[in-house]
Structure 1
Amino acid sequence: MKILINRQVIIASFVAGCIFGAFFKVVENLTGSRVYTLLLNVDYIPIIKNFRFPEVIEFIFHLIISWLITAVLCAIRNKYKWNNSMLMRNSVFIQIFIGCMLFPTTIFSKRTPIITDYFALSWWLIGHIVYGALIGILLKRKNS
């Protein structure tokens, strides 16, 4: 529980989550690839999928998930005593894994890219790499 209210976790998750969201919004606006829509999509979550939320609420959901992912990553870092380079590498790999696991949720929505949209998948994975690197940078320990 303490890790959830850790100042570094809160700041890292908020900053990285906002940059991640802004990156996808720009990509979607410039290319038409619906990666921002996919980021905010909840069409695969039972019960919640029955509601339409304003964009700001969907973005808050995204930031909550960012906070939880960052807290888990920080807890793992602490448990296994990762140094900063291990944190960076593992953060990026974990985000690539998460991106690969989430992209197939496109099959549950008509608003998101189709599962065979490799252009969208490429942007999606690039965004997750950027997010993982940001989390790795923002969670660095000063003396590691």
Structure 2
Amino acid sequence: MTIFLKLIIIGFISGMILAASGKIIRLTTGNKAEILLYNMDYMPVLKKWSDKWITGIIFHYMTCIVSAVVLFYMLVPFGWETNIWPYVLVYTAGSGVLYFLSLLTDKPPASDSFSSWFYWTFSHAIFGFAVGSLIKWWI
């Protein structure tokens, strides 16, 4: 199986892990940070389809797959593509910043909720660990 196809599968599996961690956080704490995984309200072109539940799910998984593939190939020139920590660091830091896109939507969570920001960022750290671990193990 080609590396590219493996990366697509890794992105999908890691996206499932991210969705599950968000769901577990929501069920145990009541925090609604998970909603951001599927929210497209802040994207002008995609916003017109944001009322359909399936488009949010497709958006989530496509984002997970593309980010896994792109980051892998960005790390190749440095020889870091099979190290776990670059994935954890990039996805954690990136999601910590991207959380504030919640300023552009009326849906929860609130952009000034530290707990939502923390849960969102933490779940993406898990995602980064999943991507990095699966790449290390399978590629």
What TM-score do you get using the length of structure 1 for normalisation? 0.85
Q: How far apart in 1 are the matches of 2:14 and 2:92?
A: 15
Q: Could you tell me which residue of structure 1 aligns to residue 16 of structure 2?
A: 18
Report the AA paired with residue 101 of structure 2: T
Report the AA paired with residue 19 of structure 2: G
Report the AA paired with residue 115 of structure 1: S
Give per-residue Cα distances to partners, 1:12-55, cap 9 Å, x unaligned. 10100011012112212332211111111111111322333432
Aligned length, in residue pairs: 138
Give per-residue Cα distances to partners, 1:56-102, cap 9 Å, x unaligned. 32111111111110011110232221264xx2111111011211221
Contact 1:107–1:114 (Cα < 8 Å) also in 2: yes
What TM-score do you get using the length of structure 2 for normalisation? 0.88
Note the residue ranges of structure 1 that are not aligned, 5 or more in a row: none
Q: Could you tell me which residue of structure 1 aligns to residue 35 of structure 2?
A: 37
Contact 2:32–2:108 (Cα < 8 Å) also in 1: yes
Q: Could you tell me which residue of structure 2 aligns to residue 124 of structure 1?
A: 120
Contact 2:39–2:50 (Cα < 8 Å) also in 1: no
Q: Could you tell me which residue of structure 2 aligns to residue 7 of structure 1?
A: 5
Q: How far apart in 2 are the matches of 1:63 and 1:142?
A: 20
Note the residue ranges of structure 2 that are not aligned, 5 or more in a row: none
What is the RMSD of the two structures over their aligned residues, measured on CA atoms? 2.0
* 1:70-89 alignment, distance < 5 Å: 70-82=68-80, 84=82, 87-89=83-85
| 1:136 to 2:132 alignment | yes
Contact 1:39–1:62 (Cα < 8 Å) also in 2: yes
Identity over the aligned pairs, expressed in percent? 23
Q: How far apart in 1 are the matches of 2:7 and 2:77?
A: 15
